[in-house]
A and B are shown apart, each in its own frame.
Chain A
Amino acid sequence: MLIFISTRSLWYMLPDEDFAMLREVLRREPSDLEVACFENLWSEHCSYRSTRALLRTLPTTGRNVLLGPGDDAAVVRFSEECAIAIGMESHNHPSYVDPYDGAATGVGGIVRDILSMGARPIALMDPLYFGPLGEEKNRYLFEHVVAGISNYGNCIGVPVVRGETVFDPSYSGNPLVNVVCVGVVHPERFITARVKVPGSRLLLVGSSTGRDGLGGASFASRDLSEDSEAADRPSVQIGDPYTEKLIIEAVLEMAATGSVLSCRDLGAAGLAGASSEMASTFGAVIHADRIHLREEAMNPVEIMLAESQERMLLEVAPGDVLRMGAIAEKYELQWSDIGEVIEESRYVVMFHGEVVCDLPMDLLVDGAPPCAWERKPYSAEKPFARPAGSLKDLALRVLSHHDVARSDWIYEQYDKDVQLRTVSFINDAAVLRLKDGALVFSCGCNPRHIYLRPYEGTANSVLENAANLACLGAEPLCIVNCLNFASPVHPEIYWQVEQSVLGLGDMARTLDVPVVGGNVSLYNESDEYGTQIKPTPTIGMAGKGRVVKWVPPPDGCNLAVVGADTPSFGGSVLDAVTGCGGAAPPVADAGTVSAVRDLVREGRIVTATDLSHGGLCAALAKMAPAARIELGGDPVADLFSESYGRFLVAYRDESALRGLEYRVIGETGGADLRIGCSGREVRITGKELDAALSSLTAVMRY
């Protein structure tokens, strides 16, 4: 018999056609908890209804891939002794409603995803996309998102080693907070999130369950309406990094015993989401009345769907329950034995002896009918109009754009050194030492280019991450992604999604790097600002290299630009500051990237940095702020074009560059950045450079 609990109409957001289908398949009225389970598990956030077919086109396998997409995180072999667990998540909507807690719990969630593989989390990267900081509300959101990441990441002792910040008006009202986490685990000892043995017990470890975050998964799949701040506040969870740190140590201690059969973190759709997905290989009976609670009189719908943070679900043999419980208690964590794995493919929830949910497993976790969306190409490129102003003026405006300016105001708030692995941090990519080599990371994408040409822009963003790794001599191992888009209801948006995924897949195949995991965040729109975000398929890339530190070149090195330039201004920083328009860059040649990687690895060039946001101008300011440069062609194209697959390299022996397309542009040393073109010299003093590059700090540090 099924018990029906009277709940608020809040739950009934399941689309009518889904509801009708449920009724037909079950041949009865679904209970409130059942409806709520479907409502959450069939939401876009959990089921990828809009994107599943597209995501299947991505290359996900490779000789090093031990576990591809579909689990809490992917596992990729790094060496004989070491594998990495890697995942990427978004926490966009909660971070708008409550920036500090939204960003913090985003970090907590992805860290537990990595932990649930039995891996120790060793690094985080945070790509952030915000509205312009000239606006007070954007500054408020940005300040508190950074503080939320900082406090949570620092407290749990996982260094934030990399990130990206893009500021564009399309993110006002809907900033993006994405996060990548990487962990390490022995290649033969990782744990998955699928139950293994009928009859084993399910233990819930960690924080007690309250009414926090109810309906978060479905909340994330709606666009932000004007009143979202007040009405949705209960949907945002509060993080407790102290408990998270204890959970990390406790779960790793449990995993080390070899007795954890499977493990999953509780995220979207709470215990219902975690337990049903985890048990999908068999079935499960959950006793909702055995869960440690922090609030009174919670009904089973609330208990099963609450998104209280810092909780993990573990499958252990009945004989190991007390031993695992003792480890939890050592760390002063609460735990409950909440159910068991059953042979039958059913998902059953009991509450004080009554059945409150009884569903066929496959319907719940795989039954969400895919959504078909219309697509419609668009063209947004404008013809290039040469910007007014002197070259120096344009250079300083580009350098002081917050995408280009120094980001030390952000990164100084992150503990980058904890765990003693961070060798290189500042430029292009982060280098972390492991026992047998270095793990090298990069993340980001260029939404302005992707907006103009979704396919090319996304392919180039993948290449740009590989180029970042190449600057440290590292080879890509794997890609994770976070597909942030506006609502697929608009045919132009769904076209963006499709083109981006195709571009991602094609460049991943060109580079022979598998896409091992990701996340989809749709409906990123704001009624308040009338904005849709620019398409933002953020890439996280991990690679393998040697333990090296990026160091700027000493005086007296020659400088060259390597790679072919197709002057491209559309979507560049120059376009952002002057509105000059132009075409977005075509897909670049991946060959240059691997050639530069080899030169760095073989020590044949001194330093390399890739040209991206802000073009050569930004690369010079960062790598060679004191140098003498002679430009041969059109100085505006030379300095500000943002075509991909190009590097600024410092070298001593020009023969290293033989066989590559390159142009010698000057040498390092002297005072100031002196740029000569057609007989005239533009001189940017160290002081002027510093003032331009400090623009983000200047606006944030009040």
Chain B
Amino acid sequence: MRFAVVQFGGSNCDLDTQYVLQEVCGIDTDLVWHRDGLKRHYDAVIMPGGFSYGDYLRAGAIAARTPVMAEICRHATQGKLVLGICNGAQTGSEAGLVPGTFTINAYPKFISREVHLRVENTSSPFTSHYRKDEVIQVPIAHKEGRYIAGDAVIRRLNQENRVAFRFCDRDGTISEAANPNGSIENITGVLSKEGNVLLMMPHPERASEKVLGSEDGRRIFDSMIAHIEEHA
């Protein structure tokens, strides 16, 4: 099994994500410089957090138009796993991997905070290690993380069980007060139609070791590994 963490110019969670996969989860993980492309078979591709191209124009807008993105989309079309974290999620939505957009926070400042998430979907390749409605703690760190989409899209996402995570309070209640960035219906993790792409604003790699305060995020990677093993 082998994962790829794609590095765009300005990615800055690339080394963190590789470290967690390799040292904490024990999975061979390559750092792939975007200009080198996906040169071998990867079971999963991760687009890490950061500020690709300095967030110039719009967060993720330029990275989504690099040649490697076409390869990542092809990888997704083949049913293989793609995880976009923070800037990776912004990039993935710019590339149309899931519907909707991550845009500037309702209070238009960068926000770095521990938040609680309610796990809405436990059947996807990314979330099978969670219990339904489980409350997990994972940090966020973004300025353009407010998820928005049209009513029809939101309805479809809900019907198709494609919302992976919502911001909630400590007890799992979904409220305005527990919504740090103004996302519609507190949505902060969205799955593709086939379920093999997850785009999320919170940083699971920052919640993968007890010493850093939470191990709740690690189960996303563990779920992915289990899924790949089952389908090998």
Contacts and interface: CB of A to CB of B under 8 A. Distances in A.
A417 B51 contact: no
A246 interface: yes
Interface residues of A, number: 32
B96 interface: no
Interface string A409-423: 001111111111011
Nearest to A242: B54
A245 B141 contact: no
A412 B205 contact: no
B139 interface: yes
B160 interface: no
Nearest to B35: A330
B16 A420 contact: yes
B9 A242 contact: yes
B162 interface: no
A433 B211 contact: yes
A418 B51 contact: no
A420 B19 contact: yes
Nearest to B15: A419
Nearest to B50: A157
Given A157-B13, A420-B16, A701-B107, A412 B113 contact: yes
B29 to A, nearest CB: 15
Interface in A142-173: 147, 150-151, 154-157
B167 to A, nearest CB: 15
A11 interface: no
B223 to A, nearest CB: 20
Interface in A63-83: none
Interface string A215-244: 000000000000000000000000011110
Nearest to B208: A420
Contacts of B212: 417, 420, 422-423
B10 A245 contact: yes
A245 B13 CA distance: 12
A423 B206 CA distance: 11
Given A418-B16, A418-B141, A420-B19, A245 B211 contact: no
A547 interface: yes
B13 A413 contact: no
Given A241-B51, A417-B141, A151 B110 contact: yes
A519 B49 CA distance: 34
Given A417-B203, A433-B211, A547-B211, A147 B13 contact: no
B6 to A, nearest CB: 15
A156 B13 CA distance: 10
Interface string B109-138: 111110000000000000000000000000
B95 to A, nearest CB: 20
Interface in B52-95: 53-56
Contact of B112 (A147, A332, A417, A420): A417
Contact of B206 (A155, A157, A331, A417): A417
Given A154-B141, A422-B212, A245 B12 contact: yes
A598 B143 CA distance: 41
Contacts of B49: 418
A331 B141 contact: no
B13 to A, nearest CB: 6
A417 B139 contact: yes
A242 B112 contact: no
B19 A245 contact: no
Contacts of A331: 9
B206 A245 contact: no
Contacts of A155: 10, 12, 51, 54-55
A43 B226 CA distance: 63
A413 B110 contact: yes
Contacts of A154: 51, 110, 112, 141, 143
Interface in B1-45: 9-10, 12-13, 15-16, 19-20, 33, 35
Interface string B137-176: 0010101000000000000000000000000000000000
A243 B110 CA distance: 20
A422 B139 CA distance: 12
A420 B10 contact: no
Contacts of A417: 112, 139, 141, 203, 206, 212
B8 to A, nearest CB: 10
Nearest to A151: B110
Interface in B174-232: 203, 205-206, 209, 211-213
A330 B35 CA distance: 9
Contacts of A419: 15-16
B12 A157 contact: yes
A419 B20 CA distance: 11
Contact of A420 (B107, B143, B206): B206
Contacts of A242: 9-10, 51, 53-54, 56
Contacts of A151: 110
A414 B142 CA distance: 10
Nearest to A547: B211
A420 B13 CA distance: 9
Contacts of B55: 155
A245 B9 contact: yes
Contacts of B15: 419
Q: Which of A240, A245, A331, A420 has the most CB of B within 10 A?
A: A420
A241 B54 contact: yes
A509 B56 CA distance: 48
Nearest to A150: B110
Q: Which of A157, A330, A414, A417 has the most CB of B within 10 A?
A: A417
Interface string A328-353: 00111000000000000000000000
A332 B19 contact: no
Interface string A392-430: 000000000000000000011111111110110000000
A156 B12 contact: yes
A548 to B, nearest CB: 10
B54 A423 contact: no
Contact of B205 (A246, A420, A433, A547): A420
Given A147-B109, A246-B9, 10 more contacts: A150-B110, A155-B55, A156-B12, A157-B12, A157-B13, A245-B9, A245-B10, A412-B113, A417-B212, A420-B209
Interface of B: 9-10, 12-13, 15-16, 19-20, 33, 35, 49-51, 53-56, 107, 109-113, 139, 141, 143, 203, 205-206, 209, 211-213
18 contacts: A147-B109, A150-B109, A150-B110, A151-B110, A154-B141, A155-B10, A240-B54, A242-B54, A246-B9, A411-B112, A412-B109, A412-B110, A413-B111, A414-B110, A418-B49, A418-B141, A423-B211, A701-B107
